[in-house]
Amino acid sequence: MAGVFLIQVLAVVLVISGGMQIIHRFRARSMRAFAAKWGFRYIGPPAPKWWNPSHFDLPHSMSIFVGIRQVWNVVEGERNGVSIFICDGVIGSRGGQPCTFIACQGGQNPFGTVDATVRVVQHHGWTVLYGVWLLWFSWTMSMKRIDHHVDGLRMAQPTS
């Protein structure tokens, strides 16, 4: 009986792991298509094979994100004179929460008014819109929502 239970648990773990890999592959494909649509550059890396690898270095350009432990599907570009970084990642410790980040460089908030399900922070000349928050948990943004936020970016204001 213990052997059958162990096989069932292993089968469930393999199905969940395989399902997550499929989801991550479709997400990476969608992020590449999004980058191509807007004339941005998909940098990668793809999603990690395991949710919490023992070590992961953030790219130097992503050091603006405070509290991010991992990033993947990094996209960079420029829209309406605003430098943009978009990525999926994990925030927090002990398991963390998946989250999508859209960061724009500039003094003013280029996102304007956003709904209560996303958060906006400003840090060292960057404005970071992140998450889709529901019941104290963060989730990744849909591609439609990311597209909406990028399309709605306001023009960069000249500095005086």
pLDDT at 155: 61
pLDDT at 53: 47
Least confident of 13-17, 64-68, 111-115, 156-160: 156-160
Please enumerate in sequence order all residues whose Cβ is within 8 A of that of 67, keeping only pairs 6 or more positions apart, or say none.
91, 92
β partners of residue 44: 74
Of all residues in the chain, the percent with pLDDT exceeding 70 is 76
Q: What is the DSSP string of 109-157?
A: -TT-S--TTSEEEEETTEEEEE--EETTEE-PPPHHHHHHHHHTPPPPP
**Residues 78-95, mean pLDDT to the nearest whole number:** 80
Sorting pLDDT into bands at 50, 70 and 90, what band is 10? confident
pLDDT at position 36: 96
pTM reported for the whole predicted model: 0.78
Range from 72-81, 90-99, 140-149 carrying the lowest mean pLDDT: 90-99
| Mean local confidence (pLDDT), 26-45 | 91
The residues that bridge with 78 in the sheet, in sequence order, are 83
Predicted pLDDT of residue 65: 59
- Across the beta sheet with 68-79, what order do the strands follow? 41-44, 68-79, 82-91, 97-105, 126-130, 119-123
Mean pLDDT of the chain: 77
Interaxial angle between packed helices 2-38 and 143-151, expressed in degrees from 0 to 180 and rounded to the nearest 10: 20
Does 52 score more than 70 pLDDT?
no
